[in-house]
Amino acid sequence: MRIGELARRSGVSERSLRYYEAQGLLASERTPGGQRDFGEWAVDRVIRVQALYAAGLTSKKIARLLPCMRDADGAPSEIATSLLVDELSAERERIDRTIADLVRSRDVLDEVISTAADSLAAVRSGETVRS
């Protein structure tokens, strides 16, 4: 399939697909006219790359991990190593820390919203607000 079709099917821009190819995350054959030609497998690969980017991995780290993952289901391939397990475990721990930080930030924001809403309600009802 051509790059435009891959972009449409994967929901990723052609520019991003070219970047993925430049970073070694995606490969294509070339037609005699020089156009990129991707196999069906490329849709799963692009979706996998997007998921890894969304998890916060860098293109360098993704390039190291992709050969150890199957495209269709993301499960480990036959060449998966203990290094893959270690790196993915470290990334999961990083994501867990980020989630905990976000939950704490949300809790602080909830307190501020609640206090501001209470103050606003008091002002609207004519009560005196103490600082």
The full DSSP string for 12-79 is --HHHHHHHHHTTS---EE-TTS-EE--THHHHHHHHHHHHHHTT--HHHHHHHGGGB-TTT--B-TT
Q: Choose the final residue of a domain: 58, 79, 100.
A: 79
Q: What's phi and psi for 37, nearest 5 deg? A: -135, 120
0.85 cut: is pTM over it?
no
* Residues 22, 52 within the same domain: yes
Q: Which 8-state DSSP code applies to residue 37?
A: E
* Residues 14, 68 within the same domain: yes
Domain count, the chain: 2
pLDDT in tens, 40-94: 989 999 999 999 899 888 898 888 888 777 766 666 667 777 877 888 888 889 8
* Residues 62, 96 within the same domain: no
